[in-house]
Chains A and B, each alone.
Chain A
């Protein structure tokens, strides 16, 4: 049963990401992106990452996706729900991307990763993440806070009417 659910989520992620990449309607692409984000949250649950799954839903679906929808609404004359989008150099792009995919898969799959036979058993990750955040990763945490402040001020300054 768990196997079946995993492969359903796997297929959902791939199919919705394909719709993002190949779809002709921008609105459809954004909603497909929501499917991808929710599917990736499900993948996190299968990877024992409970905190990350919730963070994924809150930040991506609740924050970034809403931001993207606002970006689309503010940059198009919305008379219909059909906001078409076009692509350029599809053939060449597909060729390059398939090459990259082949390189990744042929280099990653045959490799014998140490310890890949024994997956870690599930245990709550929130406490461990909090502990690491304020010990080993404290500098990174502080830099992240400065970066977020910079992004906040920068975005607010850039988005003003008179620049």
Chain B
């Protein structure tokens, strides 16, 4: 627990799982969950480097802004997903390939 690499490995695994979710899922909400995993992985890296390498609070500040950005992104993305559902009756992103039907 007192070594940087354990946090970096965790962050890399979390990022990879998030990337896999984004790449393979068809459901738009599930893809959003993958994006949240990726953002969490980035946050862990920022805070870990803040503790072990730079020894200041800059990484914490960036993480606060990332969390804020994730909240805004989730709200807007879900509004878009609801519109997609009202329009098509499903939210499978691989079938949403036309601007207007």
Q: Are B51 and A48 in contact (CB under 8 A)?
A: yes
Known: A47-B51, A68-B29, A158-B76. A74 touches B63 (CB 8 A): no
Closest 4 pairs between A and B when the two form their complex, measured CB to CB = A151-B72, A158-B79, A6-B1, A87-B24
The minimal Cβ–Cβ distance linking B69 to chain A, given in whole angstroms, is 7
Q: Which residues of B contact A (CB under 8 A)?
A: 1-10, 12-21, 23-27, 29-30, 32-34, 36-37, 40, 43-44, 47-55, 57-58, 60-61, 63-65, 67-76, 78-83, 85-86, 91, 94
A116-B4 contact, Cβ under 8 Å, with A40-B40, A87-B24 = yes
Q: Give chain A's interface secondary structure class.
A: helix
Contact B32 A129 (CB under 8 A): no
Q: Are the C-beta atoms of B8 and A20 separated by less than 8 Å?
A: no
Closest to A161 in B: B86
Q: How many A-B residue pairs have CB under 8 A?
A: 224
Residues of A within 8 A of B37 (CB): 17, 20-21, 33, 36
A contact set with B: CB distance below 8 Å:
2-3, 6-7, 10, 13-14, 17-18, 20-21, 26, 29-30, 33, 36-37, 40, 43-44, 46-49, 51-52, 55-56, 59-60, 63-64, 67-68, 70-72, 74-75, 85-90, 93-94, 96-98, 100-101, 104-105, 108-109, 113-116, 119-120, 125, 128-129, 132-133, 137, 140, 144, 147-148, 151-152, 154-156, 158-159, 161, 163
Grouping DSSP codes into helix (H, G, I), strand (E, B) and loop, the B interface class, with mixed when no group exceeds half, is helix
* A144 vs chain B, min Cβ distance (A): 6
Contact of A129 among B9, B27, B57 (CB under 8 A): B57
A33 touches B33 (CB 8 A): yes
Further pairs besides A20-B37, A59-B67, A113-B53: 4, Cβ < 8 Å: A86-B26, A86-B27, A104-B16, A158-B83
Question: Which of the residues A52, A115, A161, A163 comes within 8 Å of B63, measured between beta carbons?
Answer: A52
Contact of A71 among B13, B44, B82 (CB under 8 A): B82
Instruction: Give the CA-CA distance A72 to B53 in the complex, in Å.
Output: 41
A104 touches B47 (CB 8 A): no
